[in-house]
Amino acid sequence: MAHKKTSASKSYRESTDAEMNAAAARGRLEMQRDGARSVHYDESRDELRIALNSGVTMSIPRARIPGLEKATRKELEQVELSPMTTTISFLRLDADYSVQGLIRQALGLNEQQRAAGSVASPAKRAAAIQNGQLGGRPRKAVNVQSVQPKRKRKKAPAGR
């Protein structure tokens, strides 16, 4: 017996195809923007060399990469890029690193952003003091419904 295709299944398939095509396009853009062409460990310099898709090549000292401080040469030599080229995998160590994450770590951007988020400007400090004098942040409004007490039912007379 042949299966009939309905318009509903066709539109579902078309929307799924469109979503898959959009996801593939986003993946290609991510690879172009965040990916690497190659990666290898340079033992003579004790650093990881990453050639980015943008044409830039970075060298990151092994000691600057968390988790690789005590890795052996053999463990570091077995390194490869993921199919999307956005992740670096050390096979013997079972360790994966985001290309962009390693770059941010090497340049100290993670620490800079963390520190920038904790800065208290004079205006921020004054606003906090004023807010505290007003009783702090307002509490969330809670919708309280009145609870009706349960009525006791009268027992039916015996014998009915």
- Report the pLDDT value the prediction gives residue 75, as an integer from 0 to 100: 93
- Report the pLDDT value the prediction gives residue 17, as an integer from 0 to 100: 85
DSSP assigned state of 49 = E
Q: What percent of the chain has pLDDT over 70?
A: 68
State yes or no: pLDDT of 9 exceeds 60: no
Query: What span, in angstroms and rounded, lies between the C-alpha atoms of 114 and 55?
Result: 29
**Model pLDDT for residues 52-99, shown as the tens digit of each residue:** 988 889 999 998 898 898 899 999 999 999 888 889 999 999 999 999
- Report the pLDDT value the prediction gives residue 29, as an integer from 0 to 100: 74
pTM to 2 decimal places: 0.54
∠ CA 79-84-89, nearest 5°, is 20
Between the ranges 49-58, 112-121, 125-134, where is the mean pLDDT highest?
A: 49-58
Domains along the chain with CATH numbers:
16-112 (3.30.2020.40)
State yes or no: pLDDT of 136 exceeds 90: no
The residue ranking higher by pLDDT, 124 or 37, is: 37
